[in-house]
Amino acid sequence: MNSFFQLIARHRVLASTLFLAIFPFIMPYEALAINILIFGLFAMGFNLLFGYMGLLSFGHAAFLGIGSYLTGIGIVHYGMPWGAAILVGIIGAAIGGLIMGYLAIRTRGIYFSMVTLALGQIVYYIFYKAESLTGGENGLRGVRVDQFNIFGIPVDFLNPLVKYYIILFFVVIAIWLISRILSSPLGAVMEAIRENEKRAAACGFDVARTKLLVFVLSAAICGLAGSLRALHLSIVPIDSLHYLQSGQAVMMSILGGMGTFFGPFIGAAVMLYLEDVVTTFTKHWMAVVGLVFMFFVLFFPKGIWGTILSKLQIHQDSK
């Protein structure tokens, strides 16, 4: 069992790709699988900052929203091809991350969480007020991607399974990128900052620049998640930008296991699946999700995947 988990950990990109390739067949329907894919990526991008560098941002909905809106606006108002629109979404989110990160990294600890939350609300109100572009309260409608050709082969984006694999293509690239970042020297500095910021600075690392860089990378990944979500839903709801949406990323990371590679994805899957099941018999799913989340914070702070990993570790040591 142990060596199996170690094998997964060693080939984490391959393992997640293989698993996600069969994932839609395990889920009750494809739309849920696509949703988990997108929010898994969102939580992974968020976890880069929170789990690996220890900065708890409550403003990451801004990047999901910027990605969604810019991609949507590109397609709806400027007739962009969808690939270019995704690129615009990612770049926009990265620029947003640069501005927000520049302001937020001036503060530390709990203050950082409050500042990111408030800055995220600025983005919310900007898009809310720019009604002619964003549709305001009603959200942006008509983000349509129907049929297109890849190397001359017609692809039907409206077919859920086809849509799943197209989105998976982008998600896998992002997963590969995240894995590379984490195993690079930058990843090591990130964890050093999480463990002891002062010591990392004393070792000669530029803490502020690292924080800003990771903030931007994390924002860009969340922006990609947002772009893909706009294509998936073909609308952009204004809720995408709300801080409760940022809270979802936090919940997913904690539920799955913050600071672990697969944790956020597992957290997203569990939470969205739970939401899906609970809504079939009560409309008060928020209470259930809230209670489950509180239970994890109190009793399993390492989350599902984190707890499994640490249990295995104990097992290994006792041998």
Partner 1 sequence: MTGLTFELLCMQLLTGIALGSIYALLALGLCLIFGMLNVVNFAHGAFFMVGAFLGVYFLGITGSFWFSLVLTPLLTGCLGLLTERFLVRPLYGRGLDYPLLLTFGLSYVLIEVIRITFGIEGLPSVTPEGLGGTLNVGIGYFPKYRLFLIAATAVIILGVWFFIQKTRYGLIIKAGAADQEIVKVLGVDIAKVWLLVFALGCAIAGLSGILASPTRSVNPEMGIPILAESFVVTVVGGMGSPVGAVVAGLLVGVVYSMTSLFFPDLAELSIFVLMAVVLLIRPQGLFGKAGAMG
Nearer to partner 1 among residue 35 and residue 121 (C-beta)? 121
CB of 211 to partner 1, least distance (A): 14
Contacts of 247 (CB under 8 A, 6+ apart): 58
CB of 238 to partner 1, least distance (A): 13
- For the packed helices 30-50 and 263-279, what is the interaxial angle rounded to 10 degrees? 140
Which one-letter DSSP state was computed for residue 149?
E
CB of 270 to partner 1, least distance (A): 15
Contacts of 314 (CB under 8 A, 6+ apart): none
Contacts of 238 (CB under 8 A, 6+ apart): 124, 127, 128, 134, 135, 136, 137, 138, 139
CB of 154 to partner 1, least distance (A): 44
Cα–Cα distances (Å) from 303 to 130, 247, 266, in that order, read 39, 16, 9
Nearer to partner 1 among residue 8 and residue 56 (C-beta)? 56
Nearer to partner 1 among residue 78 and residue 125 (C-beta)? 125
CB of 9 to partner 1, least distance (A): 25
**Diameter over CA atoms, the chain:** 65
Nearer to partner 1 among residue 229 and residue 242 (C-beta)? 242
Q: Binding residues for partner 1, per CB under 8 A?
A: 56, 103, 106-111, 113-115, 117-119, 121-122, 125-126, 129, 243-244, 247, 250-251, 254, 284, 286-287, 289-291, 293-294, 297-298, 301
The pairing of strands 153-156 and 147-150 is antiparallel
Nearer to partner 1 among residue 171 and residue 249 (C-beta)? 249
